[in-house]
Structure 1
Amino acid sequence: MVNSWNRPKLKIAKTISEWIWDIVGYLCFAGSILFLLLVWGKLPDEVPAHYNALGEVDRWGSKWELLILPGVGAFLLIFMQVLEGFPEVHNYPKRFNESNARQFYLQSRKMINQLKNICVIIFTLLLIESVSIALGWGSGLGIWSLPIMILGVGIPITVGIMKQRKIK
């Protein structure tokens, strides 16, 4: 059995899917900041600041609170990007060993990559939704907000765990 302190450190090139996820995630992040800069002057003093489980605005706050969304997005991007780079510190089942380390590392890294980028996309959607409601462009995703977030995060985790279970 290999413990987490002496797991092999392997260099595994990023896959095409990881590059695609990163491009989409970083473009969404940059786009959300650009979007916020473009509409900032048009925003009213109060914007949606919190939503209930039905996707209804249940608290209004200062437009400055919108900066929290890209701030949290930036933190997640940086933190999870670093975590992606060290798959040897991730959690693995007891059957992990040096012969299957490459498979486990790759699968775990791909799952973290997808989660990182999906979280950024979700924060982008929340920002767009809040701005849209504040400017009267629409009513947002409504009741679909929470299911989209749960499925967006839950599907990659479930698929990742199922793929890891197939590793011998």
Structure 2
Amino acid sequence: MNNKPILDIPKTLFEKSLDIVTAIVYLAGIIYTFVIWSQLPDQVPAHYNALGEVNRWGSKWELILLPVIAAFLAVFMTFLERHPELHNYRRLNDSNIEFQYKNSRLLMNVLKNECVLLFVFLTYKTEQVALGRIDSLSVAFLPVFLVFIFGSMAFFIIRSFR
């Protein structure tokens, strides 16, 4: 049973700005996909290996899955972001609860936006491979993605212990 208090803490300008920028990029990605749809071949990259090389091709309709997954993640993570009282904390007390809620909410906001931007990037790069403009995602994709995601998590977790 969750007995943590529910606090009404307004979003920061940074959180609002990150949400707006991500929404604009997400919508631009959908518009771009719509614009180039007729130029895409019937088969597009559907999966990549750890080196960023295509290892499965599929119908171009599979491209629709990426923005749908991004939207689902955004909705789910926005729910979690709005309810920091549902998150796990160590040593939560009256003197640190507001900071911990803000920190946890900011972590969810950053991760949500990183994930959505990742899916927009994957969609764009997949379209570029399908159009023959590039050969792969590149070998740097996976390490860079992991550094961003785990780096963000580490930053906010370390910050919560201070």
What TM-score bracket applies, with the shorter chain setting the length?
Answer: over 0.9
Q: Residue 50 of structure 2 corresponds to which residue in structure 1?
A: 53
Compute the displacement of 1:21 (Å).
1.2
Residue 157, structure 1, aligned to residue 157, structure 2: no
Q: Distance in 1 between matches of 2:19 and 2:150?
A: 19
Residue 38, structure 1, aligned to residue 35, structure 2: yes
Q: Residue 64 of structure 2 corresponds to which residue in structure 1?
A: 67
Question: When the two structures are superposed, what TM-score results if normalisation uses the length of structure 2?
Answer: 0.96
Of 135, 139, 143, which residue of structure 1 is paired with 2:135?
139
Of 78, 95, 99, which residue of structure 2 is paired with 1:99?
95
Q: Distance in 2 between matches of 1:144 and 1:23?
A: 27
The answer to which of 110-119 and 143-152 deviates more is 143-152
Q: Residue 16 of structure 1 corresponds to which residue in structure 2?
A: 13
- Two-structure CA RMSD over aligned residues (Å): 1.0
Give 3-state SS (helix, strand or coil) of 2:140's partner: helix
Write out the 4+ residue segments of structure 1 that deviate beyond 6 Å after TM superposition.
none
Q: Distance in 1 between matches of 2:147 and 2:50?
A: 14
Of 97, 113, 116, which residue of structure 2 is paired with 1:117?
113
Deviations 1:56-98 (A, max 9, x none): 00000000000110010000010011111100000111x1112
Identity score, percent: 43
Question: When the two structures are superposed, what TM-score results if normalisation uses the length of structure 1?
Answer: 0.93
Q: Distance in 2 between matches of 1:152 and 1:34?
A: 26
Q: How many residues align?
A: 162
Q: Residue 126 of structure 2 corresponds to which residue in structure 1?
A: 130
Q: Residue 85 of structure 2 corresponds to which residue in structure 1?
A: 88
Q: Distance in 1 between matches of 2:42 and 2:153?
A: 38
> What letter matches 2:50 in structure 1?
A
Could you tell me which runs of 5 or more consecutive residues in structure 2 were left unpaired when the two chains were aligned.
Answer: none
Deviations 1:126-164 (A, max 9, x none): 001100000012224310110121112111101001110
Conservation of the 8 A alpha-carbon contact between 2:53 and 2:137: no
The answer to which of 12-21 and 140-149 deviates more is 140-149
Conservation of the 8 A alpha-carbon contact between 1:118 and 1:153: yes
> What letter matches 1:20 in structure 2?
S
Conservation of the 8 A alpha-carbon contact between 1:28 and 1:120: no
Could you tell me which runs of 5 or more consecutive residues in structure 1 were left unpaired when the two chains were aligned.
Answer: none
Give 3-state SS (helix, strand or coil) of 2:56's partner: strand
Conservation of the 8 A alpha-carbon contact between 1:29 and 1:120: yes
